[in-house]
Amino acid sequence: MKASSEIHQLIRSMSMSEKRHFKIHASRHVIGNENLYPQLFDAIARQESYDEDAIRRHFGETAFGKNIASGKNYLYQQVLESLNVYNRDKTFLSRYANILVSIENLYNRGLFSQCHKLIRRSKTEAYSLEKFSILLILLRWETIIHIKDEDERKLNRSMMEELRVTEMMRVQSALMRVAFNIQIQIDKGVRSADFIRENEKELKKNLPASPEVDSFWAKYYYYSSKGLLCSIQGKQEERYQCYKEIKKLMDEAPQFIRDLPGIYHLNLNNLFNVMMFLGKYKEGEALIRQQEEFMPAYDIKRPALSKIVFLNTCDNELYLFYKTGRFDDAAGLTRHIEHEVRAFRINFSPLLFDLMFMMAVSELMVGNYKNAQKWLNKIINSERDVYFRKELQINSRLLYLVVLYDSDDLLLDNRITATRRFMQQEKQFHAQKKILESIRLLSDGASSRKNKNALLKLSSDIRKDMTKSFSEANNKQFDFSEWIDRKVKAVLG
């Protein structure tokens, strides 16, 4: 059985300051005359990939070395405890877990005025971040205090406030359900007119909401749902406006950006994608700078999110360079980030493979065919170990054929056969099958001239299919139809 690498993944996710804090934390938990857990921590932290045999050799035949499994389990719990202490006051939920305990302690000690003062102060922040589940707990404590004081007026007011918060949660939940249902059904390929009408009707039931129950999250889920529906209808300008509304909503409520920076970044990425689709390249370039700068601007320190922002912004910038013909800039950026990209664990995120694809495109466009093949091989060779979308798997193989064609590689015919075999079971990828057939016809050499009309029709059909495809409109892509048009003109005149 393969040894668990969870502790390795956890330690490798820690920042330097979190690691320093663990060393201090561990020094307070000395077992016997020597605390070996910091040594185990360091030994694991030094490994690029987890190797338990090397860890066992490090500790030799000692009792500790013979019980590495239990040592890892204890270390895992100690690392989590250290992280909990280190981040105790840095997130809303961790702060409020302590606040709720404080409220209960003050009440149980009969310090009712102090208890109520803490409740009121906590309610203000909970309202500002729309943490309604926490608000309900705070309101229930407030109700208990009013019952104790036999204050009927304040009791009724608190109970009415609780009903209003409950209704706000209901509206939010209804809109969240609509948004998630739309995304799930789209992923399954459901995009019918009836599906669109049904979900538009559901949205109208809940928004515009009355001012008493309107909220940030109600608006967020409403515009997210509208953006998805606009996407499958091809209404890209309206989709653009939806994502701009979400950005405006969050920019005007910076507390939400600090509390949920991942959602802010996701919307920036969605907005960038539709900007590229609409040809808003200058706006897109400015948005990339915002993506890069928003975490330090809001003093957000989240290592995993920082890595995701790196992957997305590099991918976005390479795509922008590609769309605007700045191929040398794209190739330069590809080489600049190569070392950092190689340092990522292959299973960190599927976003890693999207970036590698655009790095391959960037190298292709300046004629660095070996480098392009290198990145495509990393994508294709990772399919056995990591799941990522089938569309990218197929497009990577098609781009590999483009690289082989442009470099006059003798392996092209064999690769065409292998790619056709790979795609046999993938019936939904109509455009990709036409791309494959176009490359096959172009590679035909002597008979290419008689295939001119077939190639031109295939190119036109590919462009139409790509325009219709929801997934293609949302993923950065190499323009296969433009490449085919260029090759047809070059070969056939």
Are 288 and 309 a contacting pair, CB within 8 Å? Answer: no
Whether pLDDT at 209 is above 70: no
Coil/strand/helix, residue 383: coil
List the Cα angle 241/246/252 in 5-degree steps.
Answer: 120
How confident is the model over 401-454, as pLDDT tens digits? 999 999 999 999 999 999 999 998 777 788 899 899 999 988 886 555 667 778
Locate the DSSP E strands across 416-484. Answer: none
Instruction: Give pLDDT, residue 92.
Output: 66
Residue 116 binned pLDDT confidence (cut-offs 50, 70, 90): very high
Are 405 and 442 a contacting pair, CB within 8 Å? Answer: yes
Q: How many CB atoms lie within 10 A of CB 405?
A: 17
Whether pLDDT at 381 is above 80: yes
Instruction: Give pLDDT, residue 212.
Output: 76
How confident is the model over 135-172, as pLDDT tens digits? 999 999 999 999 998 989 999 999 999 999 999 998 88
Please report, as a single letter, which amino acid is at residue 181.
N
Which secondary-structure segment (H or E) carries 138? Answer: helix 132-149
The tally of CA atoms less than 13 A away on the side-chain side of residue 72 is 23
CA pair distance 55, 60, nearest whole angstrom: 9
Going by the DSSP 8-state scheme, the letter that residue 445 receives in this structure is: G
Instruction: Give pLDDT, residue 347.
Output: 86
Mean pLDDT of the chain: 88
Who's near 456: CB < 8 A, 6+ residues apart?
A: 485, 488
Q: What is the mean pLDDT of residues 316-337?
A: 97
**CATH architecture of the domain formed by 303-388:** Alpha Horseshoe (1.25)
Q: What is the mean pLDDT of residues 5-10?
A: 88
Whether pLDDT at 462 is above 90: no
Q: Among 151-165, 289-303, 329-343, 443-457, which is the least confidently predicted range? A: 443-457
Instruction: Give pLDDT, residue 153.
Output: 93
Instruction: Give pLDDT, residue 464.
Output: 78
How confident is the model over 233-245, as pLDDT tens digits? 889 999 999 999 9
Coil/strand/helix, residue 385: coil
How confident is the model over 118-132, as pLDDT tens digits? 999 999 988 988 889
How confident is the model over 169-189, as pLDDT tens digits? 988 898 999 999 998 888 777
What are the structure tokens assigned to 298, written together?
């809001």
Are 334 and 327 a contacting pair, CB within 8 Å? Answer: no
Are 354 and 329 a contacting pair, CB within 8 Å? Answer: no
CA pair distance 136, 289, nearest whole angstrom: 39
What are the structure tokens assigned to 100, written together?
């709720």
- Domain limits, the chain: 6-86, 92-150, 303-388, 418-493
CA pair distance 224, 137, nearest whole angstrom: 29
Whether pLDDT at 469 is above 70: no
Coil/strand/helix, residue 209: coil
Are 314 and 322 a contacting pair, CB within 8 Å? Answer: no
CA pair distance 204, 316, nearest whole angstrom: 34
Against a cut of 0.85, is the pTM above it? no
CA pair distance 308, 288, nearest whole angstrom: 13
Whether pLDDT at 1 is above 50: no
Whether pLDDT at 465 is above 70: yes
Instruction: Give pLDDT, residue 473.
Output: 46
Instruction: Give pLDDT, residue 281.
Output: 97
Residue 109 binned pLDDT confidence (cut-offs 50, 70, 90): very high
Residue 247 binned pLDDT confidence (cut-offs 50, 70, 90): very high
